[in-house]
Structure 1
């Protein structure tokens, strides 16, 4: 585990640092998946995450809740919880529409593999339990993330072949909150 890791709610003053994190980690994820040439898709994903964070900070009744991980006041990771997204609705034929989605789990490439993502998931699970929420879903089409999520979350609830095109797989997990709290 990385020393000096602090997890908190983001503030307006965190917006620029969080946006830099989205740009670096999403670009890196696409590159490592062999999709670095999909510039429009990368930019669309970055802008979507920026919009979610901006909305969560600026709307009192936002349905998305964010946490950020900081080391020495610099944001090194993010996680969110909100309504189930379109990919999950589509992949599950709307079976999980009433289950909230764990999303925006991004960690700066230089901090990956050091427990930042696990700490974010644990803190988010603790928050969800306090809110009376007993399960969440999440999804991924990234092969590298799928390997990590298979180890962390076990067998997926749903696997959709060719979702993003030939030879692509999209996975959806349904998890119990209490499985991620000490």
Structure 2
């Protein structure tokens, strides 16, 4: 990321909701295509719709238990990250051992901005927020093989690996992490 493309992080607002939805549409479709499962249009749309719904519900700050941050470059939303209740996939894969923890999720960066450190900036901002809230641990998961490689580098060995979760040779991984390990 060069200086003219300064990245700023903010809490999602209604003013940025539509462009945040575009981030989901572009990055989730891209992830499915790069995973070789781009033909699963119904699954792609279901994932996009789920993220849109979570983002929209986070805007009701009085009743929401989910927080969304967005990354902007030159005023345009290029990435997202969220923290909220432990999701169903983690509950199932971790045999309900992590249900009491919050989940780091919805980390998406528009493909043309990937590899520029935006995801890392979003994670760092979320870790600072969680630390300020007194939250010491979180969990996260991924079924995307490409993301699993990145998460293993960033978060270490997964807490649980469920082989063939998404079909033959398609594992789902769950991480249990300490906030303090990722504040640096």
The bucket for the TM-score relative to the shorter chain is over 0.9
Aligned mates of 2:139, 2:53 — CA distance in 1: 21
Alignment match, 1:124: 126
Moved more, 86-95 or 52-61: 52-61
1:136 alignment counterpart: 138
Any idea what SS the aligned residue of 1:58 has? coil
Q: Which of these residues, 88, 91, 104, is aligned with residue 90 of structure 2?
A: 88
Structure 2 equivalent of residue 163 of structure 1: 165
Counterpart-to-counterpart distance in 1, 2:114 and 2:108:
9
Instruction: Give unmatched runs, 5+ long, in structure 2.
Output: none
Shift of 1:60: 1.6
| Aligned residue number for residue 108 of structure 2 | 106
Alignment TM-score, normalising by the size of structure 1:
0.98
Aligned residues: 182
Under a length normalisation based on structure 2, what TM-score does the superposition of the two structures give?
A: 0.97
Unmatched segments (≥5 aa) in structure 1: none
Q: CA RMSD in A?
A: 0.8
CA distance in 1, matches of 2:62, 2:93: 31
- Write the deviation string for residues 68-104 of structure 1: whole angstroms up to 9, x where unpaired: 0000110010000000000000001000001100000
Match of 2:71 among 69, 72, 75: 69
Q: Shift of residue 58 of structure 1?
A: 2.8
Task: Check whether the contact 1:2–1:116 (CA below 8 A) recurs between aligned residues.
Answer: no
Distance in 2 of aligned mates of 1:48 and 1:20: 13
For residue 59 of structure 1, report the CA deviation from its aligned partner.
4.8
Runs of 4+ displaced beyond 2 Å: none
